Amino acid sequence: MNLVGQNIYKLETPELIIDLDVVDANFNTVSNAYKDSHLKMRTHTKNLKSPFLARQQVNAGGSNGGVCTAKVSEAEIMVESGFDNILIANQVVSNDKIERLCSLAKIADMKVGIDNVDNLQNLSKFAYKHNVILGVLVEINTSMFRCGVRSSKDAVELAKLANKLPNIEFKGVMSHQSISGSPTEQERWEIGKSYIDILLDAKKTIEEAGIDIKIVSTGETFTFDIVLEYPEITEVQGGTYALMDVNYPYMPFDIAARVMSSVIDINISLDLITLDSGSKCIAAPNFAKPILEGQDAELIDMRLDYSVYKVSDVNKYELGQKLFLLTTHQDGLINRWDKFVGYRKDEVQGVWDILGRGCHH
- CATH number, domain 1-19+245-361, options 3.10.150.10, 2.60.40.10, 3.20.20.70, 2.40.37.20: 2.40.37.20
Q: Is-cis flag, bond preceding 166, omega within 30?
A: no
Q: Quick one: pLDDT at residue 111?
A: 98
**What single-letter DSSP state applies at residue 8?**
G
Rounded to 5, what percent of the chain is helix, strand, coil?
Answer: 35, 30, 40
CA 84 to CA 108: how far, in whole Å? 4
Nearest to 307, CA basis, from 247, 260, 263? 263
Would you state the pLDDT for residue 247? 87
Beta pairing partners, 18: 257, 342
Q: How many residues does the chain have?
A: 361
SS3 242: helix
Report the DSSP pairing between strands 322-326 and 257-267.
antiparallel
pLDDT of residue 68: 95
Question: Using CA atoms, how far apart are residues 154 and 120, in angstroms rounded to an integer?
Answer: 13
What values do phi and psi take at 306, rounded to 5?
Answer: -155, 165
Ordered alpha helix ranges (H), 61-184: 72-80, 95-105, 117-130, 152-164
Cα 166 from chain centroid?
Answer: 32
Contact call for residues 246 and 328 (beta carbons, < 8 A) = yes
Q: What are phi and psi of 347, to 5 degrees?
A: -110, 130
Pick the CATH number of 37-239 from 3.40.50.300, 3.20.20.10, 2.60.120.10, 2.60.120.200: 3.20.20.10
**What integer pLDDT is reported at residue 266 of this predicted model?**
98
pLDDT tens digit at each of 361 positions of the chain? 689 999 999 999 999 999 999 999 999 999 999 999 999 999 999 889 999 999 999 999 999 999 999 999 999 999 999 999 999 999 999 999 999 999 999 999 999 999 999 999 999 999 999 999 999 999 999 988 889 999 999 999 999 999 999 999 999 999 999 898 889 999 999 999 999 999 999 999 999 999 999 999 998 899 999 999 999 999 999 999 999 988 899 999 999 999 999 999 999 999 999 999 998 988 776 667 888 999 999 999 999 999 999 999 999 999 999 999 998 888 888 999 999 999 999 999 999 999 999 877 7
> Domain residue spans in the chain?
1-19+245-361, 37-239
Which residue type occupies 178? S
